[in-house]
């Protein structure tokens, strides 16, 4: 939700800010703006729409080595130039990522002192508050503001009388910083730091970073200087670029076999038997011995990975496992104790609802383990245990490689847990692990057939409604296929447990309505085929996905299109079938001429409620 960047150094600040904003644009893309210190004071340029539009508006005379930039995902106030950041009030110019929850109350108080906002944003109120508290001492003003502000925020602030200095503070929303020969940089995401340095730090909550061109000084609010904990990025710039692919999403779909191998490698210790090993992650078997219940909570695609994890864990461990949408879980009163393990799943590690669910689980005394892609993110830092997925930077709003890397993490956990609990022998786990190790290769085979999906997508392009059906693991994957399709193609779609269709939804299946039926699981294959016949009998256009070897019962004419994933143990079929669904969504979106990587109204990292 919103990308923020600050640069202070030896290069042309406006150009650096534009480059950074382009890299952060996946976080929000309805408007953008920058502010720079120039010899004429602080100059601000804003524009509605994408960063490219802002770039075209920049005056060449805006010479500066220090400035801040913002790309917005609107929360308070519509999409307009006046609502775009930076916001200015008196001495203060700032950008913000987050939501100020008590802005209404603050606005009223400030209005009584004669300050009237010109925008509808909560951010302008924060700028007004800070200006009212600023009398030349930035720390004093920030202390006062922190006392009054409720909600989540990451701010980069320029005070008019402190030329070429940026102050940063955060609560809830992310902010990372790095120093380099070119200067000092702060941003919402390390992707925007990559060009400067691979060493960075996460600004701790309620600490202040004072950014100048040569240094970043981190202080407590009382002015005590502290040393930040440095982290290293193991990616290079190319990991965050399109590398010849038309879209990030297509590139990231292709990166999945590698992402899975990278996620597996540090956890595959080859001994006599191939067992998952979490010693490098600091996850000991005690965690498993001491657990009698697992709750998985997450949002969107990460939650769908959790649905798969639930089936697998419950099947292999025989203990209760449930999946909860984090935005609901956080406002319920979940029954948790020290024998409960709460697993949080998040690509970004910053999703506000998942973070709140984590905090609630800890408050209730549960053990917490997170499956996270972004190193050093809030969810990773606050969980008792972290199992990092090594998918690399995921830039497209539609999550693909993070999803299959999350599945990989769940399979590893389920196998280890089942072994520790004595539910699977070392040999059985070893067999499963070999299967998991081979998944990358199977996915490559599906990728080789991408032209089939491309061709088939032409049939989906005119659809208005579409249904996904499946049972067990295939149902969990249907949910993911459906969100992928709707978020980037804007086609209304729903995922149904195939057996549930006849309890109402079948009335929506009429002539030509596309139904994507997943039938990769042998134990429910015959039932699935019956469900396919039911929709077929109502005139649906059926795309059937089966697994090599499971095709015996497929009669002529049962479907319009038939796609087959390579043979494997049934439990690994979701990996290969996921690629088919991702490619169908991708090509359909392309044929519809849509912005695949940055679909309307969405943002990659949802750091607000
Ligand atoms: C998926 O394609 C999404 N755009 C979205 O559902 C995402 O998975 C969700 O917002 C959770 O994000 P996280 O993994 O960063 O927590």
CB count in 10 Å sphere of residue 333: 7
Atom number, ligand 1, closest to the C-alpha of residue 300: 6
Q: Considering the domain boundaries, does residue 390 fall inside one?
A: yes
Question: pLDDT digits over 503-520, tens only?
Answer: 988 899 999 999 999 999
Atom number, ligand 1, closest to the C-alpha of residue 402: 14
Residue to probe by mutation, ligand 1, list 324, 371, 383, 399, most atoms within 8 Å of CB: 399
Q: Considering the domain boundaries, does residue 442 fall inside one?
A: no
Rounded distance from Cα 405 to ligand 1 centre (Å): 13
Portion of the chain with pLDDT greater than 70, in percent:
99
Rounded distance from Cα 604 to ligand 1 centre (Å): 7
Are 432 and 503 in a shared domain? no
Q: Considering the domain boundaries, does residue 388 fall inside one?
A: yes
Mean pLDDT of 357-373: 97
Are 490 and 519 in a shared domain? yes
Rounded distance from Cα 226 to ligand 1 centre (Å): 34
Residue 551: is its pLDDT beyond 70? no
- How do 385-388 and 367-372 pair as beta strands? parallel
Tell me, rounded to whole angstroms, the distance of Cα 574 from its chain centroid: 20
Instruction: Say which range, 102-111, 124-133, 230-239, 482-491, has the weakest mean pLDDT.
Output: 230-239
Rounded distance from Cα 376 to ligand 1 centre (Å): 18
**Contact predicate 7/67, CB 8 Å:** yes
Return d(Cα 181, Cα 195) in angstroms, integer.
Answer: 11
Are 315 and 367 in a shared domain? yes
CB count in 10 Å sphere of residue 457: 20
Are 463 and 493 in a shared domain? yes
Q: Considering the domain boundaries, does residue 607 fall inside one?
A: no
Are 468 and 401 in a shared domain? no
Atom number, ligand 1, closest to the C-alpha of residue 301: 8
What phi and psi values does residue 386 have, to the nearest 5 degrees? -125, 135
Q: What's the confidence (pLDDT) of residue 552?
A: 60
Portion of the chain with pLDDT greater than 90, in percent:
86
* Catalytic-role residue among 2, 66, 156, 559: 2
Return d(Cα 234, Cα 392) in angstroms, integer.
Answer: 9
Residues 6+ apart with CB under 8 A from 342: 294, 295, 296, 297, 336, 357, 358, 361, 366, 367, 368, 369
Q: Which long-range contacts (CB under 8 A, 24 or more apart) does 216-219 make?
A: 216/177, 216/179, 216/184, 216/186, 219/139
Question: pLDDT digits over 336-361, tens only?
Answer: 999 999 999 999 999 999 999 999 99
Question: pLDDT digits over 415-464, tens only?
Answer: 999 999 999 999 999 999 999 999 999 999 999 999 999 999 999 999 99
Return d(Cα 158, Cα 453) in angstroms, integer.
Answer: 50
Are 106 and 178 in a shared domain? yes
Question: pLDDT digits over 472-503, tens only?
Answer: 999 999 999 999 999 999 999 999 999 999 89
Residues 6+ apart with CB under 8 A from 329: 295, 297, 357, 360
Of 414, 437, 460, at which residue does a domain stop?
A: 437
Q: Considering the domain boundaries, does residue 258 fall inside one?
A: yes
The answer to whether 479 is a known catalytic residue is: no
Helix spans in 25-102 (H): 51-57
Of 379, 407, 437, at which residue does a domain stop?
A: 437
Return d(Cα 124, Cα 83) in angstroms, integer.
Answer: 8
Are 329 and 432 in a shared domain? yes
Atom number, ligand 1, closest to the C-alpha of residue 604: 4
Are 171 and 292 in a shared domain? no
Which has the higher per-residue pLDDT, 234 or 586? Answer: 586
Domain that holds residue 169: 3-233
Mean pLDDT of 157-180: 96
**Contact predicate 232/198, CB 8 Å:** yes
Are 92 and 182 in a shared domain? yes
Tokens of residue 330, six digits: 């956080």
**Contact predicate 373/405, CB 8 Å:** yes
Longest CA–CA separation in the chain, Å: 80
95 three-state secondary structure:
strand
Question: pLDDT digits over 73-110, tens only?
Answer: 888 888 999 999 999 999 999 999 999 999 999 999 99
Tokens of residue 32, six digits: 């953008």
Tokens of residue 498, six digits: 């195939």
Instruction: Say which range, 73-77, 226-230, 274-278, 453-457, has the weakest mean pLDDT.
Output: 73-77
CB count in 10 Å sphere of residue 502: 12
Of 179, 203, 233, at which residue does a domain stop?
A: 233
114's torsion region: left (phi>0), alpha (psi -120 to 50) or beta? left
Q: What's the confidence (pLDDT) of residue 570?
A: 96
**Contact predicate 485/491, CB 8 Å:** yes
**Contact predicate 498/475, CB 8 Å:** yes
* Number of domains making up the chain: 3
Return d(Cα 454, Cα 348) in angstroms, integer.
Answer: 29
560 burial level (CB within 10 Å; 0-12, 13-18, 19+): middle
Q: Domain with 341 in it: what CATH number? A: 3.40.50.10490
Are 273 and 346 in a shared domain? yes
Q: What's the confidence (pLDDT) of residue 518?
A: 98
For the chain, the residue count is 609
Residues 6+ apart with CB under 8 A from 486: 492, 493
Residue to probe by mutation, ligand 1, list 300, 354, 380, most atoms within 8 Å of CB: 300
Return d(Cα 126, Cα 145) in angstroms, integer.
Answer: 8
Tokens of residue 361, six digits: 């689980």
Rounded distance from Cα 377 to ligand 1 centre (Å): 15
Name all residues whose Cβ lies below 6 A of ligand 1: 299-302, 346-348, 351, 354, 397-399, 487, 605-606
**Contact predicate 358/345, CB 8 Å:** no
Rounded distance from Cα 348 to ligand 1 centre (Å): 8
Residue 609: is its pLDDT beyond 90? no
Rounded distance from Cα 302 to ligand 1 centre (Å): 6
Confidence of residue 240 (pLDDT cuts 50, 70, 90): confident
Q: What's the confidence (pLDDT) of residue 308?
A: 98
Are 353 and 502 in a shared domain? no
CA distance to 155, 232, 603, 606, per residue, from 3 (Å): 11, 21, 10, 11
The answer to whether 604 is a known catalytic residue is: yes
Residue 123: is its pLDDT beyond 90? yes
248 three-state secondary structure:
helix
The pTM of the whole model exceeds 0.85 = yes
Return d(Cα 325, Cα 308) in angstroms, integer.
Answer: 14
Are 130 and 223 in a shared domain? yes
Residue to probe by mutation, ligand 1, list 28, 73, 296, 301, most atoms within 8 Å of CB: 301
Q: What's the confidence (pLDDT) of residue 605?
A: 79
Task: Tell me the three-class secondary structure of 346-379, residue by residue.
Answer: ECCCCCHHHHHHHHHHHHCCCEEEEEECCCCCHH
Q: Considering the domain boundaries, does residue 546 fall inside one?
A: yes
585's torsion region: left (phi>0), alpha (psi -120 to 50) or beta? alpha
* Catalytic-role residue among 19, 375, 484, 604: 604
Q: Considering the domain boundaries, does residue 600 fall inside one?
A: no
Which residue has the CA at smallest separation from atom 5 of ligand 1? 300
Confidence of residue 272 (pLDDT cuts 50, 70, 90): confident
Q: Domain with 214 in it: what CATH number? A: 3.60.20.10
36 burial level (CB within 10 Å; 0-12, 13-18, 19+): buried
Q: Considering the domain boundaries, does residue 29 fall inside one?
A: yes
How much is the mean pLDDT over the chain? 94
Atom number, ligand 1, closest to the C-alpha of residue 406: 14
Residue to probe by mutation, ligand 1, list 29, 302, 380, 397, most atoms within 8 Å of CB: 302
């Amino acid at each position: 939700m919103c990308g923020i960047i600050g640069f202070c150094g030896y290069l042309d600040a406006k150009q650096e800010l534009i480059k950074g904003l382009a890299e952060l644009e996946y976080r929000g893309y309805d408007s953008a703006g920058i502010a720079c210190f120039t010899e004429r004071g602080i100059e601000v340029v804003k524009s509605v729409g994408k960063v490219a539009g802002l770039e075209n508006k920049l005056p060449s005379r805006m010479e500066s080595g220090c400035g801040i930039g913002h790309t917005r995902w609107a929360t308070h106030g519509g999409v307009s130039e006046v609502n775009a950041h930076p916001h200015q009030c008196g001495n203060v110019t700032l950008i913000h990522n987050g939501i100020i929850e008590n802005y209404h109350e603050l606005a009223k108080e400030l209005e009584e002192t004669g300050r009237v906002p010109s925008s509808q944003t909560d951010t302008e109120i924060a700028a007004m508050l800070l200006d009212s508290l600023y009398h030349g001492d930035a720390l004093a003003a920030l202390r006062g503001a922190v006392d009054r502000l409720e909600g989540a925020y990451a701010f980069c602030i320029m005070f008019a009388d402190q030329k070429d200095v940026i102050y940063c503070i955060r609560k809830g929303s992310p902010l990372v910083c790095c120093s380099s020969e070119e200067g000092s940089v702060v941003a919402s995401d390390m992707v925007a730091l990559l060009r400067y340095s691979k060493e960075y730090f996460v600004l701790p909550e309620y600490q202040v970073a004072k950014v100048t061109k040569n240094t970043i000084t981190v202080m407590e609010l009382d002015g005590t200087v502290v040393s930040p904990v440095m982290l290293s990025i193991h990616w290079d710039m190319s990991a965050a670029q399109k590398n010849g692919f038309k879209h990030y999403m297509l590139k990231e779909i292709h990166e999945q076999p590698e992402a899975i191998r990278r996620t597996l490698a540090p956890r595959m210790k080859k001994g006599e038997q191939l067992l998952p090993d979490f010693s490098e992650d600091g996850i000991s078997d005690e965690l498993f011995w001491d657990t009698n219940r697992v709750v998985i909570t997450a949002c969107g695609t990460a939650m769908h990975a959790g649905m798969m994890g639930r089936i697998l864990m419950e099947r292999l461990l025989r203990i209760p496992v449930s999946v909860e949408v984090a935005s609901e879980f956080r406002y319920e009163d979940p029954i948790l104790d020290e024998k409960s393990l709460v697993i949080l799943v998040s690509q970004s590690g910053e999703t506000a609802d998942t973070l709140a669910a984590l905090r609630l689980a800890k408050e209730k005394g549960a053990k917490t383990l997170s499956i996270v892609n972004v190193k050093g993110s809030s969810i990773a830092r606050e969980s008792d245990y972290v199992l990092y997925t090594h998918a690399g930077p995921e830039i497209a709003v539609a999550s693909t490689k993070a999803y299959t890397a999350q599945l990989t993490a769940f399979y590893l956990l389920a196998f280890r847990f089942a072994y520790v609990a004595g539910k699977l022998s070392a040999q059985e786990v070893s067999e499963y692990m070999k299967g998991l190790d081979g998944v990358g290769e199977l996915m490559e085979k599906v990728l080789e057939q991408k032209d089939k999906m491309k061709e088939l997508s032409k049939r989906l392009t005119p659809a208005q409604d579409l249904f996904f059906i499946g049972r067990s693991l295939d149902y969990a994957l249907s949910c993911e296929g459906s969100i992928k399709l709707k978020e980037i193609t804007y086609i209304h779609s729903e995922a149904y447990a195939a057996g549930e269709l006849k309890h109402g939804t079948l009335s929506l299946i009429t002539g030509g309505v596309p139904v994507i039926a997943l039938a990769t699981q042998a134990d429910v294959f015959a039932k699935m085929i019956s469900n396919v016949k039911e929709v077929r009998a109502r005139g649906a256009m059926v795309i059937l996905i089966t697994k090599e070897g499971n095709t015996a019962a497929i009669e002529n004419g049962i479907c319009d299109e038939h796609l087959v994933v390579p043979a494997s143990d049934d439990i690994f079929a979701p990996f290969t079938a996921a690629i088919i669904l991702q490619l169908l969504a991708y090509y359909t979106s392309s044929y519809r001429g849509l912005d695949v990587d940055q679909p309307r109204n969405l943002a990659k990292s949802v750091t607000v409620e």
